[in-house]
Amino acid sequence: LVDDTNTQRDSVESKQRVSEKKVDHAPVCDTKQPVPDECGLVLAPSSLPNAGWGIFSLRDRIRGTPLLAGDVVIQLTDPNVTHAQNIHRMLHDYLWSAEETGGFYEGRVVVSLLPGPGMLANGLDGNRHNVIPFVPAVDEGGCTRLDSPGAGAFTHYHNYTFFVQKPIAAGNEVFIDYSADWLKERKQNFVQPETTVDLRRDLDWLRDHGKCLDNLKGGRSPIPHAGRGAFAARPLTKGSIVAPVPVLPIAKREAMDMTSTKTYNNVIAKKQLLLNYCLGHPKSSLLFLPYGPMVNLVNHGGKKANVKLQWSSSQLLINSKNQSEMTLEDVWAMEQSGLLLELIAIRDIASDEEVLMDYGDAWAEAWAEHLLSWKPLPGSETYAPSYVQDDAIKSLRLDSELKLHPYPNNVLTSCLYRYTGNVGKLEAPTATSKTDVVATVQWNMTKGLFQPINLRPCRVLERRHDKRKGTLFTVQIHNRFGLPESQRIPKGIVHVVTDLPRRAIRFSDKIFTTDQHLENAFRHEIGIPEEIFPLKWMDFAKEDKSVLPEF
Ligand SMILES: C[S@@+](CC[C@H](N)C(=O)[O-])C[C@H]1O[C@@H](n2cnc3c(N)ncnc32)[C@H](O)[C@@H]1O
């Protein structure tokens, strides 16, 4: 018996050794791997019919816990009207209103890209969602326009986190809140289920077929001028899938042009910041926008890369064709995304190590040239971003004080205030307001008021000290771009609000002034490796097919 046990143990150990060896030498194209034991969240086909990918929890989750580490938000500003048709589907079905993320001051028309749950999770109506987002942090990631060629090359909006709002049982799908209006507009495409009982998948199936979504976490990158980066949340073995990378096709790269090439507010409209987060090939008009959690944070590592991109065989779970069978026209016509890439570890990666890929020669050459030619723009020394002002200035200035001590030119004051159409007490025009009627209301703290959607430009008129409440301000509230008619203060009315505490007034960056609008900000897409880019998508190279590699 003892001998038998030993023999069995030997045989198990030798099997383990064989399988370890197998993993070590596994061809990187083998993507059918179970997720790591510690993985808590996976990508898999949604439990809703025809809904594409979905997110599933592998463990029970309680209210108030984060679903995933916080991710970046990328603000797309003033899309070029002529070329926006190339991203029509993406704008309509995947991107969020900048009102949700506080990005509305970035341009006249702003939409937000929220990789991870914001774009990947499906939605339910009728308050049946189980996660909700919390506002992003905003900062320059250590790269200022005065001292870094990285300024404006990566997004300032980060750590955007979804929290569990209703308990989620292991195996259940994660749902975000698609508003009733949003769903009504798209009712042919998004059929809502009557019950949430079956909106789950078998746990063993998910472990075998799902792709782990929480192997990565964000943090400040030690790479000079790179901003933030993606780091391994646990040890990742060579040959394993580090992250699924679902991508949305962008038919023409001109869609990354901004509205006009003329100057506006002294800022030259140029390429969208979003281009830096897109994947492309120099010989193709196509771009792909990755939208899996944390994958947009993966920096360029050149020869130090520890992951590489490859197509996933799992895309056939929701697609009838894989990428090699698709023509360029098939990709253009894709109704919803289905193309799936994967980041594969090309060596063992330790926990907390930065995950890096090779962006390719074209990117590396463009970056090297940018480093050589970059110098700070004139006026950079007087610029101070709004979040710095908020930290530095505790008491807000009145007009008379601003004449002597103005704020930096790039900021405005914004108040958290919800205008409900109630203009309050009306007063006849005064000498200062001339032809306008003055309407005054008292500020009131209400539920949800501190959401960025309620920020609107305001001017401080008075400051007084209240024994109980501290310093209180009287302000004039203005309209801003993007406000619905019901929230616009009618013409001819000066809307005054009294008794705002300092925490209800923030500094905001004026339109087109943040680093992402800098004229000298770096812009370049990430290269999709030559060996995985289908030849038939290289429409820029039709005349010169002889030099192209066979796919
Ligand atoms: C896909 S984003 C990567 C995430 C980005 N670092 C962030 O903070 O959001 C690509 C951009 O990151 C920066 N970046 C990536 N790798 C870099 C590197 N090796 N050196 C400098 N900047 C890098 C460049 O600005 C590039 O355009």
Per-residue model confidence as pLDDT tens digits over 195-206: 766 789 999 999
Least confident of 122-136, 403-417, 521-535: 122-136
Ligand 1 lined by 277 (C-beta under 6 Å)? yes
If you measure from the C-alpha of residue 247 to the centroid of ligand 1, how many angstroms do you get, rounded to a whole number?
A: 18
Average pLDDT over residues 251-259: 83
Instruction: Return the domain boundaries, the chain.
Output: 41-189+197-373+524-536, 386-509
Tell me how far apart the alpha carbons of residues 17 and 9 are, in angstroms, rounded to a whole number: 12
| pLDDT confidence of residue 429 | 58
| pLDDT confidence of residue 432 | 58
Query: Tokens 């920020």 label which residue?
Result: 455
Ligand 1 lined by 453 (C-beta under 6 Å)? no
Least confident of 93-97, 275-279, 448-452: 93-97
| pLDDT confidence of residue 424 | 66
Q: Are the C-beta atoms of 115 and 290 separated by less than 8 Å?
A: yes
Ligand 1 lined by 299 (C-beta under 6 Å)? yes
Tens digit of each residue's pLDDT (9 = 90 or more) over 450-487 = 989 999 999 999 999 999 999 999 999 999 887 888 88
The long-range contacts involving 445-454, CB below 8 angstroms and separated by at least 24 positions, are: 446/418, 449/416, 449/417, 449/418, 449/504, 450/416, 451/135, 452/99, 452/100, 452/101, 452/102, 452/104, 452/135, 453/99, 453/100, 454/416, 454/417, 454/418
Residue 219 pLDDT > 90: yes
What phi-psi label fits residue 108: left (phi over 0), alpha (psi between -120 and 50 degrees) or beta? alpha
Q: Note the pTM of the prediction, 2 decimals.
A: 0.88
Ligand 1 lined by 300 (C-beta under 6 Å)? yes
Ligand 1 lined by 223 (C-beta under 6 Å)? yes
Ligand 1 lined by 297 (C-beta under 6 Å)? yes
Average pLDDT over residues 11-25: 34
Tell me how far apart the alpha carbons of residues 107 and 256 are, in angstroms, rounded to a whole number: 15
Residue 238 pLDDT > 80: yes
Ligand 1 lined by 226 (C-beta under 6 Å)? yes
Of residues 148 and 336, more confidence is placed in: 148
Whose alpha carbon is nearest atom 21 of ligand 1? 226
* Closest approach atom of ligand 1 to CA 226: 22
Least confident of 1-5, 80-84, 116-120, 214-218: 1-5
If you measure from the C-alpha of residue 206 to the centroid of ligand 1, how many angstroms do you get, rounded to a whole number?
A: 32
Which of 74, 157, 295, 299 has the most ligand 1 atoms within 8 A of CB, as the residue to mutate? 299
Tell me how far apart the alpha carbons of residues 498 and 218 are, in angstroms, rounded to a whole number: 41
| pLDDT confidence of residue 467 | 94
Instruction: Classify strands 437-442 and 455-466 as parallel, antiparallel or unpaired.
Output: unpaired
Whose alpha carbon is nearest atom 13 of ligand 1? 226
Residue 95 pLDDT level (bands cut at 50, 70, 90)? confident
If you measure from the C-alpha of residue 237 to the centroid of ligand 1, how many angstroms do you get, rounded to a whole number?
A: 24
Q: Are the C-beta atoms of 345 and 236 separated by less than 8 Å?
A: yes
- Encode burial over 153-165: b for 16+ CB neighbours within 10 A, e otherwise: bbbbbbbbbbebb
The long-range contacts involving 327-330, CB below 8 angstroms and separated by at least 24 positions, are: 327/536, 328/284, 328/286, 328/536, 328/537, 328/539
Residue 296 pLDDT > 80: yes
Whose alpha carbon is nearest atom 9 of ligand 1? 154
Q: How many CB atoms lie within 10 A of CB 476?
A: 18
Phi (first) and psi of residue 6, to 5 degrees: -60, -40
If you measure from the C-alpha of residue 300 to the centroid of ligand 1, how many angstroms do you get, rounded to a whole number?
A: 7
Ligand 1 lined by 136 (C-beta under 6 Å)? no
Q: How many CB atoms lie within 10 A of CB 528?
A: 25
Tens digit of each residue's pLDDT (9 = 90 or more) over 330-349 = 998 886 678 999 999 999 99
Ligand 1 lined by 227 (C-beta under 6 Å)? yes
Q: How many CB atoms lie within 10 A of CB 469?
A: 10
Predicted-assembly ipTM surpassing the 0.95 threshold: yes
| pLDDT confidence of residue 78 | 87
Residue 248 pLDDT > 80: yes
Residue 25 pLDDT > 80: no
Residues contacting 401, CB < 8 A, separation 6+: none
Ligand 1 lined by 314 (C-beta under 6 Å)? no
- Encode burial over 40-66: b for 16+ CB neighbours within 10 A, e otherwise: bbbbbbbbbeebbbbbbbbeebeeeee
* Closest approach atom of ligand 1 to CA 221: 6
Residue 395 pLDDT > 90: no
Residue 442 pLDDT > 80: yes
Whose alpha carbon is nearest atom 14 of ligand 1? 226
Which of 276, 341, 358 has the most ligand 1 atoms within 8 A of CB, as the residue to mutate? 276
Query: Count of residues for the chain?
Result: 551
Ligand 1 lined by 143 (C-beta under 6 Å)? no
Hey, what are 40's tokens?
Answer: 């808590």
Q: How many helices (H) and strands (E) does the chain have?
A: 9, 30
Percent of the chain's residues with pLDDT above 70: 85
Ligand 1 lined by 489 (C-beta under 6 Å)? no
If you measure from the C-alpha of residue 331 to the centroid of ligand 1, how many angstroms do you get, rounded to a whole number?
A: 27
Ligand 1 lined by 74 (C-beta under 6 Å)? no
Average pLDDT over residues 250-262: 76
| pLDDT confidence of residue 551 | 38
Which of 72, 160, 303, 367 has the most ligand 1 atoms within 8 A of CB, as the residue to mutate? 367
Residue type, 65: T
* Mean pLDDT value across the chain: 86
* Closest approach atom of ligand 1 to CA 230: 4
Ligand 1 lined by 522 (C-beta under 6 Å)? yes
Least confident of 45-59, 179-193, 218-232, 533-547: 179-193
Residue 278 pLDDT > 70: yes
**Helix, strand, coil distribution of the chain in percent, nearest 5:** 25, 30, 45
Q: Are the C-beta atoms of 385 and 518 separated by less than 8 Å?
A: no
Ligand 1 lined by 272 (C-beta under 6 Å)? no
Percent of the chain's residues with pLDDT above 90: 62
Tell me how far apart the alpha carbons of residues 145 and 334 are, in angstroms, rounded to a whole number: 39
Residue 24 pLDDT > 50: no
Tell me how far apart the alpha carbons of residues 525 and 278 are, in angstroms, rounded to a whole number: 5
Average pLDDT over residues 94-122: 91
Tens digit of each residue's pLDDT (9 = 90 or more) over 299-321 = 999 999 999 999 998 888 888 78
| pLDDT confidence of residue 259 | 65
Instruction: Classify strands 307-311 and 157-164 as parallel, antiparallel or unpaired.
Output: unpaired
Tell me how far apart the alpha carbons of residues 417 and 534 are, in angstroms, rounded to a whole number: 52
| pLDDT confidence of residue 384 | 93
| pLDDT confidence of residue 487 | 87
- Could you tell me where the beta strands, DSSP code E, fall in 417-504? 425-427, 437-442, 455-466, 470-477, 493-501
Residue type, 532: I
Average pLDDT over residues 157-179: 94
CA atoms within 13 A on the CB side of 277: 29
Query: Tokens 């097919």 label which residue?
Result: 545
**Rounded to an integer, what is the distance from CA 420 to the centroid of its chain?**
30
Provide DSSP, 259-285: S-SSEETTEE--B-GGGGG-EE-TT-S
Instruction: Classify strands 122-124 and 175-177 as parallel, antiparallel or unpaired.
Output: parallel
> What fold characterizes domain 41-189+197-373+524-536?
Beta-clip-like (2.170.270)
Q: How many CB atoms lie within 10 A of CB 180?
A: 12
Least confident of 16-25, 123-132, 206-215, 337-346: 16-25
